[in-house]
Amino acid sequence: PFFYYLRRVISIILPIYNEEKGLVQFTQNLNDSIRDIPHDFEIIFVNDGSQDHPLSVILELCRENSTYKYINLSRNFGHQIAVTAGIEHAKGDYIILMDSDGQDPPEVIRRLLAKAEEGYDVAYAQRIKRKDESWLKKITASAFYKMLNKITSVEIPVDTGDFRILNRKVADALIRMPEKQRYLRGQIAWLGYKQAAVSYEREGRNAGETGYTYKKMISLALDAITSFSNSPLRLATISGFVCAFIGLLLIIYTLYAKFILKIYEPGWPSLMITIVFLGGIQLLGIGMIGEYISRINDNVKNRPLYLISDTNIEHA
């Protein structure tokens, strides 16, 4: 034939944590918007130890459709690890990461795919609006990303979540990154290759509520910082130097006051201030070092990143 169209396999990875209520509707919408894309789709549901019972919903969906796969993790490992489990089991030439709560609109898939077919290795969706999110979340998120970009050497695009398409090359590269602290946005930015942005408006959730508690967000933020920047460590070192230098000046001045000027008064306020100040700085430094050591410890333990309790994927 003169014209021949290469049919590709596209894997869509859906991490699921307590999404029982909205999942059927979401899958329906997803299906509607990919139906006439002339490729083969593989949808991978990764149940990340949900407290409600989306597994029965997922199993039902998988019974109805043979191209649906599921991975049931043995407990809640967190969003980033759930997505990683999906990537490691995806067969697709292209891999799409998206949330399963309806906030990442399926209509955008077509545009992401177009970019990928144009030859970009990664196309990430960049939101121009966020609906349904508290002002506190918006403000903290935007301040965090600004700060992160300042202190890291890789440029992590702002206003992006994990909604994106990767080609096989990028997925394989990601799988080769062995670190236990997964921060996929950062890791993908670190990889380089040809990347493009597609802008969209982020929707509100279909049902249920966010699985990202502030505790989980803070831990993701700390993982992001320590994985991509050593500047907190350097800050500890620099402040240590500065304090030691000020301390030295104080010692010289004290000796000078006592032996030359002879106006020395034993003053406990200055003493207390010095002790408290230095003590604070020391604790800060030790705390920061602790952050890194705990992560080194995690990596040295070399535990598996996740455990699967059951799946319908062969050789998993």
Rounded to whole angstroms, the Cα distance separating 10 from 12 reads 7
Which CB sits closer to ligand UDP, 17 or 145? 17
Rounded to whole angstroms, the Cα distance separating 151 from 157 reads 14
Asked if 76 interacts with ligand UDP (CB under 6 A), we say yes
CB 308 within 8 A of CB 73: yes
Three-state SS for 107?
coil
- Residue 15: which of ligand UDP, Mg ion, none does it interact with, CB under 5 to 8 A by kind? ligand UDP
Asked if 20 interacts with ligand UDP (CB under 6 A), we say no
Rounded to whole angstroms, the Cα distance separating 227 from 120 reads 25
- Residue 79: which of ligand UDP, Mg ion, none does it interact with, CB under 5 to 8 A by kind? ligand UDP
CA distances 159 to 237, 250, 271, Å, are 32, 47, 48
Asked if 127 interacts with ligand UDP (CB under 6 A), we say no
Single out the residue of 256, 274, 258 nearest to residue 266, CA to CA. 258
- Residue 48: which of ligand UDP, Mg ion, none does it interact with, CB under 5 to 8 A by kind? ligand UDP
Rounded to whole angstroms, the Cα distance separating 309 from 316 reads 11
Residue 211 CB, nearest approach to ligand UDP (Å): 3
**Options 19-27, 102-110, 123-131, 152-160: segment touching Mg ion (CB under 5 A):** 102-110
- Residue 19: which of Mg ion, ligand UDP, none does it interact with, CB under 5 to 8 A by kind? ligand UDP
Among 19, 48, 93, 101, which residue interacts with Mg ion (rule: CB under 5 A)?
Answer: 101
Asked if 103 interacts with Mg ion (CB under 5 A), we say yes
Asked if 19 interacts with ligand UDP (CB under 6 A), we say yes
- Residue 78: which of Mg ion, ligand UDP, none does it interact with, CB under 5 to 8 A by kind? ligand UDP
Single out the residue of 48, 20, 200 nearest to residue 124, CA to CA. 200
Q: Cα dihedral sign for 130, 17, 147, 174? A: negative
Among 11, 13, 17, 58, which residue interacts with ligand UDP (rule: CB under 6 A)?
Answer: 17
Q: HSE on the CB side for 301, CA within 13 Å?
A: 11
Q: Residue numbers of the site for Mg ion (CB under 5 A)?
A: 99, 101, 103
Q: Residue numbers of the site for ligand UDP (CB under 6 A)?
A: 15-17, 19, 48, 76, 78-79, 82, 99-101, 103, 210-212
